[in-house]
Amino acid sequence: MGLLLFGLFVVIYKCPDYTRVLDDKRNLSNQVMLDRHGRVIRIAPDEHGEYMIWLRHDQIPQLMKNAVIAAEDKRFYRHFGFDPIATSRAIYNNYASGKIVSGASTISQQVVRMVTPRPRTLRSKFIEFFAALKLEWQLSKEEILELNLNLAPMGGYLKGVGIASLVYFDKNLRMLSLSEAASLAALPRSPSRFDPSRPQGHALLMKEKDRIIDRMLSSGFISYEEANTNKRKTVTFRKRNLPREASHFTALALKRIRSNKQIVTTTLDIGIQKNLEQILLSHRSRLNGRGIKQAAAIIVSVRDLEVLALAGSIRYGPIHGGYNNGAIAPRSAGSTLKPFLYATALGKGFSGTSVIPDTARNYRTPLGDYTPLNANRTEYGPVTMSEALGSSLNLAAVKTIEKVGLSDFYNFLERINLVDGRSKHFQHYGYGLAIGNLETSLFNLTQAYGCLARQGKFGKLRLLLDEPMNMVRVLDPQLVTGITEILADHNSRIPAFGNPHYFDFGFPVALKTGTSDGHRDAWVIAYNQGHVIGIWAGNFDGKPSLGASGAEACGPILKDIISGLGGSDSVNRSPADHGPYVRGNSDEDSVYTYLGAEYAKWVYKREMQFGLNRFRLKNPFVIDDGSHDLEGSVGMKVPSKIQDGQRSRISIISPHDKDSFSKPLDRTLIIPLKAAPLEVLPYVVWIIDGVEVARTGAPYEFMWRADGGAHSILAVTPDHEAAKIEIRVE
């Protein structure tokens, strides 16, 4: 007898060690993502493609435990790993029928099999018998029951009652009725046979559910009334879909997780998310009519920079590349960068009333000549900074970046994560940076506008509730207030956009539109004291729209989003003081607006189109002391004050120094010569190869018939200051 016991001890000892099995299995649980209110939005599968929500034994309601015990092992609390009564009965029934009609596996034996799957052989049964004894020796009954309830196969890719309750009933386990708990307890007995998605499987499952309720009654777990109420009661199973909300958002959030936490609470508000998705979908037909197949949007809480909703496409799926996340795709920023340009200008002494020339000019860049245009091909002449930003004028923006400094603006964009160390050097973008030739993402743009909404404090957007909020001040609050006043003032948008209904919110909203070159990207970024909202519309394959601007494409979407959010979190602002232009002091002068030399071409074109009007060039000065008479001078001596391409009181803006031209074989080459004096002049003298060829008043342009060879060109003021360039005609 002693030898037999020793033999049994050796066999049990050699069985697997189960002291750490519970901790190991708990760590293998899937990661469950919740929205900010605790609603499940996604469950990440494990390496085998299976899904599980691990619940500790104290998180599982007793009703569920009782149902499983009644279904599988009603003497679970009274045996040590095997049930002699059930085993004897199974042997008798199988012998009497001549085949296996029932088993006698206890919950402990089932756990052994689920922890270490083995072929269903007699040898496996023998091992499981002794392994169950060791399992009972090393773990408590509650721990064994926890393993069973979490590892049990529940059909397809589902394991455990936690995920099954969510998928089949869309309920937390604690909310299950008796009938539902009994149905879940029945499933592991034969998940395929009891498959509730098939009518036959559902009918068989309901019969098994009733049998388990009878066993619960006989075990004293429920009353007769409870049993009578729930028996023959049909349980409705919903379609077996796993929660997979906000796919683009959750994919980004998963990359932020730095721990093995099983339950992760995100910043998402599933109600706001679903509303956003519905809004984007409702605009699909309208956008398609303008040649736009996709759109993306982000809604952020200003208070804590939490992303409340994020949709990377109109609908997540294969249509028009809907699996792509447009919120993080790099796209041309268009005019959305202008608020940061003007914020930089305010920091250098500009004000909302500073007058900027919105006039055309050609610029020399490392990549060639650059001639910016306004979106509507109109020049507005003298505009205030408020009007330039509000109406998103490109010509004024380029004039501003010229004064602010390209590198200073680029450095600020680096500080707010719109460019990084991997981006191209600022000289690559040139003055086009003022009107958004830089590529960035909707996510980063919305993040950058967060610093305007937070009075100049910049921080990264948060996707998880436990992420720290690190803020750094990048702008003076007074400067931000100035920018916000302009962006919230609908009057400043009227010259370019008119007064579209979709920008009428009933309360102030600061917003900026943007349209990339070729109408490939349309943007609106808006904010108030409550939210920052970013919207992009375009095509993932880069095809241009049918001329849709950021305002036209995204404005109606913004209106619906703000209406859906409700509330009128206002922006503290006062009407912008646009101030007067530079005017004369006399009563007669007050009728006119007098402008400097930078407006010469603009005034000239207006007079050609409208005749004399209120805009005038300042009275040109004339220097004539008798010693520098240029009248009739041919082959005149070259002036001494030549700047060789450097700007003094005059510069040549077309062509550029060292330009080369190819002369057509059968045509005359005509080159436009353009000068830009700092002050209004009565005329400019053009001297080519030492010979005076023309005198031109405003706008100081001359069409020159060029011969082949190298040429020296001078533009000379009446007081003999000059700019000089050299070109070559092949």
284: pLDDT strictly greater than 70: yes
Q: Are 525 and 562 in contact (CB under 8 A)?
A: no
Q: Looking at residue 596, what DSSP letter applies?
A: -
628: pLDDT strictly greater than 60: no
215: pLDDT strictly greater than 70: yes
Q: Which of 34-43, 74-83, 229-238, 524-533 has the highest mean pLDDT?
A: 524-533
Q: Are 495 and 380 in contact (CB under 8 A)?
A: yes
Please tell me the pTM assigned to this model: 0.79
Strand duo 701-706 + 593-595: pairing: unpaired
> In this predicted model, which residue has the larger pLDDT, 429 or 328?
328
For the chain, the average pLDDT equals: 85
Question: For residue 151, what are the contacts with CB-CB under 8 A and spacing of at least 6?
Answer: 25, 111, 114, 115, 159, 160
Label residue 484 left, alpha or beta by phi (over 0 means left) and psi (-120 to 50 means alpha): alpha
Beta bridge partners of 695: 685
pLDDT of residue 151: 94
> In this predicted model, which residue has the larger pLDDT, 167 or 277?
277
292: pLDDT strictly greater than 90: yes
Angle 394-404/406-415 helices, nearest 10 degrees?
100
Quote the CA–CA distance of 6 and 1 in Å, as a whole number: 9
Q: Are 418 and 445 in contact (CB under 8 A)?
A: yes
Express as a percent the part of the chain with pLDDT over 90.
Answer: 52
Candidates 1.10.3810.10, 3.90.1150.10, 3.40.50.150, 3.40.50.720; CATH matching 2-230: 1.10.3810.10
pLDDT of residue 636: 45
Quote the CA–CA distance of 434 and 397 in Å, as a whole number: 6
Query: Among 211-220, 488-497, 504-513, which is the least confidently predicted range?
Result: 488-497
Q: Looking at residue 545, what DSSP letter applies?
A: -
Gap between the terminal Cα atoms of the chain: 115
Which positions are annotated as active-site residues?
72, 335
CATH 3.40.710.10 intervals, the chain: 281-565
pLDDT of residue 327: 97
Quote the CA–CA distance of 715 and 586 in Å, as a whole number: 34
725: pLDDT strictly greater than 70: yes
Quote the CA–CA distance of 680 and 236 in Å, as a whole number: 85
CATH 1.10.3810.10 intervals, the chain: 2-230
188: pLDDT strictly greater than 60: yes
Strand duo 531-538 + 709-716: pairing: unpaired
Mean pLDDT, rounded, for 707-715: 91
CA angle 548, 554, 559 (to 5 degrees): 140
Q: Are 332 and 521 in contact (CB under 8 A)?
A: yes
Q: Are 362 and 654 in contact (CB under 8 A)?
A: yes
Class of 641-729 in CATH:
mainly beta
Strand order across the beta sheet in which 510-515 lies: 306-311, 294-301, 531-538, 521-527, 510-515
Amino acid in position 207: K
pLDDT of residue 361: 86
Q: Are 46 and 52 in contact (CB under 8 A)?
A: yes
Question: For residue 362, what are the contacts with CB-CB under 8 A and spacing of at least 6?
Answer: 369, 370, 371, 653, 654, 674
Report phi then psi at 523, rounded to 5.
Answer: -135, 150
pLDDT of residue 573: 37
Cis preceding-peptide flag for 655 (omega within 30 of 0)? yes
pLDDT of residue 568: 45
Helix locations, 584-712, DSSP H: 600-610
Helix (H) or strand (E) holding 227: helix 224-230
Amino acid in position 678: L
Question: For residue 252, what are the contacts with CB-CB under 8 A and spacing of at least 6?
Answer: 310, 325, 327, 328, 463
231: pLDDT strictly greater than 80: yes
Q: Are 724 and 644 in contact (CB under 8 A)?
A: yes
Angle 107-115/62-72 helices, nearest 10 degrees?
100
According to CATH, the topology of domain 281-565 is: Beta-lactamase (3.40.710)
Helix (H) or strand (E) holding 282: helix 270-282
582: pLDDT strictly greater than 80: no
> Of the candidates 326, 274, 390, 277, which has an alpha carbon nearest to the alpha carbon of residue 536?
326
Tens digit of pLDDT for each residue in 432-466? 899 888 899 999 999 999 999 999 999 999 999 99
Beta bridge partners of 672: 703
CA angle 179, 181, 186 (to 5 degrees): 95
